[in-house]
Amino acid sequence: MLLLAMIVLRNKYALTEGGIHALIWAMLLLLPYLVSTPANDYKLGPIPGLFFTISGFIHMAIFYSNAFFFYPRLMNRKYWWLYIPVAMLLLFISFQLKYHILAFWFPDVLKNMTAYKFIFGPSVGIFFISIIYRRVADKIRFEKEQEKRRTEQLSTELKFLRSQISPHFLFNVLTNLVSLARKKSDRLESSLIMLSDLMRYMLYDTQGKKVVVTKEIAYLKSYIELQKLRFGSEVLVNTVMDTEEETESYTIEPMLLIPFVENAFKHGVNYLVHPQIDIQLSVKDGQLIFDVKNRFDEENVTEKDENSGIGLSNVRTRLDMLYRDKHTLLIRNENGVFHITLTLVLT
């Protein structure tokens, strides 16, 4: 009975807990009338059917009073020792009720000493079943609460990580625009328009949900164009975006790819005679491969501002939270070339 209840309770599409209890108790109370016959007085062994049913109500009283009142109120409390006499009293009362019912209606059964274990034994059995039920039910409830807290914590952490992205991104882009303003470049206006489109994407398209991969790629392209406007011919940027028609049906965590490109521009343009950044992205058969390479000056990479590394650390955490076992991130730093390759299973 207990095992059946626990299995069904774990199925969120099954009956409610109250419905499960009603079904189990109905089967127990009606058992003599389902397996025996009127000619045999609906007996189950030496136990008359009517007494079996009456005992069922006594067992219900033991089960629910212990599982929902005595055990949760007295155990794990300061006065837990009171539970022992209460439990003994509960069983004693059930024994007395059964004895007097038999003495009044079924006196012949009391003459059969071998029937006593079938009369009084179930009270003890139901009592221990109620304890097991309470403990298992409490464990299931505790696990659900823990899972709920973990889900809420994950959601909070993800929101925090996303909130970190916007100011970090804006800091870098505004630095680019300041550079254009100082040069009095005629490209400043187009850069501001492009920035407004990027901010619209961040503010309205990425809040609390994944986005279509094509939108993320368009966002990435706009950012790269902003960087090209800033550096012009000073930096060679090679970009290859290879996607298939089915890309429209896939989604991705927003602003997941941009930190790698930010990092390449941050560390791949200073102290170099001919800086070069290579960016390749492909989407095929539900798999995204993102590859970014940039040369850097190993002698001048030791000094970093306090914001350095926020983007990469952020994206590592988000990948672990949202794409566990569905991604690989390789980061290599060899011979003056910083190289990352992200492989991601899209959904």
User: What contacts 24+ positions apart, CB below 8 Å, involve 214-217?
Assistant: 214/243, 214/247, 214/248, 216/252, 216/254, 216/255, 216/256, 216/257, 217/241, 217/243, 217/247, 217/281
> Among 258, 301, 294, which Cα is nearest to 276's?
294
**What is the third-level CATH fold of 185-345?**
Heat Shock Protein 90 (3.30.565)
Across the range 170-175, mean pLDDT stands at 72
Q: How confident is the model at residue 155 (pLDDT cuts 50, 70, 90)?
A: low
Minimum mean pLDDT among 46-55, 93-102, 194-203, 330-339: which range? 194-203
Q: What is the CA 107 to chain-centroid distance, rounded? A: 60
| Encoded amino acid at 197, one letter | D
E strands, the chain, where?
A: 211-212, 236-242, 251-252, 276-284, 287-295, 327-334, 337-345
Show Cβ contacts of residue 32 under 8 Å, excluding neighbours closer than 6 positions.
42, 43, 44, 47, 48, 49, 52, 53
pLDDT digits (tens, 9 = 90+) for 13-50: 445 778 888 888 888 888 888 888 887 778 777 888 88
pLDDT digits (tens, 9 = 90+) for 89-111: 999 999 999 888 888 888 887 77
- Dig out the tokens for 331 from the structure: 């980061």
pLDDT digits (tens, 9 = 90+) for 49-90: 888 888 989 999 999 999 998 888 888 777 778 888 988 999
Taking CA atoms, 181 is separated from 159, 175, 305, in Å, by 33, 10, 23
Give the residue carrying structure tokens 């390789």.
330
285 SS3 class: coil
pLDDT value at position 245?
A: 79
pLDDT beyond 60 at 162:
no
pLDDT value at position 292?
A: 95
DSSP at 275: -
Q: How confident is the model at residue 228 (pLDDT cuts 50, 70, 90)?
A: confident
Q: How confident is the model at residue 289 (pLDDT cuts 50, 70, 90)?
A: very high
pLDDT beyond 70 at 1:
no
pLDDT beyond 90 at 238:
yes
Q: Where in the chain is the domain with CATH 3.30.565.10?
A: 185-345
Characterize the bridge pairing of strands 211-212 and 251-252.
Answer: antiparallel
pLDDT value at position 307?
A: 47
pLDDT digits (tens, 9 = 90+) for 259-281: 888 888 888 777 677 888 999 99
As a whole number of angstroms, the longest Cα–Cα distance in the chain is: 111
pLDDT value at position 82?
A: 85
* Greater model confidence, 307 or 169: 169
pLDDT beyond 90 at 154:
no
pLDDT beyond 60 at 308:
no
Q: Count of CB atoms within 10 A of residue 229's CB?
A: 18
pTM score, two decimals? 0.56
Q: How confident is the model at residue 287 (pLDDT cuts 50, 70, 90)?
A: very high
